[in-house]
Amino acid sequence: MSNFPQDLMYAKTHEWVKKDGDVYIVGISDFAQSQLGDIVYVDLPGVGTKLESGDSFGELESSKAVSEINMPFSGEIIAVNNELTDSPELINSEPYSSWIIKIKADSEDDFNKLLNSDEAKKIIEG
């Protein structure tokens, strides 16, 4: 059964977001990684890229398919996790410590509009 840690917020497209001061850390949920299967390649964006909410910031390639990863809200990418380039499988084994990007948000309010863990759980339970 997929888990949704209480201290994180979630986008409807299954990214998790953690607030760390004024920086927002983004990865994909345990549910998302279990649906994708083995992740074999991560296509990361360039640092400094500015994107709108819902824009694709990269791709996750699993052994079966290729899926886009989306911005949970508008902002600038200030860091990417280069460790995933060599070890994309970390997203499968440790989805909540394998962050993908860090964002500086355009609006601090956007974080609070995301789903909490109970709401995210309800979405996958249908």
Partner 1 sequence: MNRTPLYEKHLNKGAMFSVFGGYDMPLWYHSAKDEHINVINNVGIFDTSHMSVLSLTGENSERLLNSSFSRNITNLSPRKEIYGLFLTPDYFVIDDAVIYKFSHNEFIIVVNAGMGEIIIDHLKSFNFSNVTIFNHTNTICKIDVQGPKSLFLMEKIFGKALFADFPYYTFKGSFTNNDYLISRSGYTGELGFEIYCKNDLGTKLWDELLIQGEVFNIMSCGLASRDSLRVGANLPLSHQDFGNWKFCNTPWDFCVDTPIISNTSYTYSYLGYDVRKLKNSGVVYYNSEEIGRVLSCVSEVSLTRVGNEIISVKSKNSSDIKIKGLAAGFIIINRKMTSGDRVIISDGSRDLEVEIVESIRPERTARYSLKRIRSMYE
123 interacts with partner 1 by CB under 8 A? no
Rg (CA), the chain: 13
Buried b (16+ CB within 10 A) or exposed e, 5-20: eeebbbbebbbbbbee
Residue 50 phi, psi dihedral angles, 5° rounding:
-105, 130
List the interface residues with partner 1, window 52-71 (CB under 8 A).
Answer: 61, 63-66
37 interacts with partner 1 by CB under 8 A? yes
Q: Is the CB of 68 or the CB of 108 nearer to partner 1?
A: 68
List the interface residues with partner 1, window 89-118 (CB under 8 A).
Answer: 89, 92
Q: Which residues bind partner 1 (CB under 8 A)?
A: 34-35, 37-38, 40-41, 43, 61, 63-66, 86, 89, 92
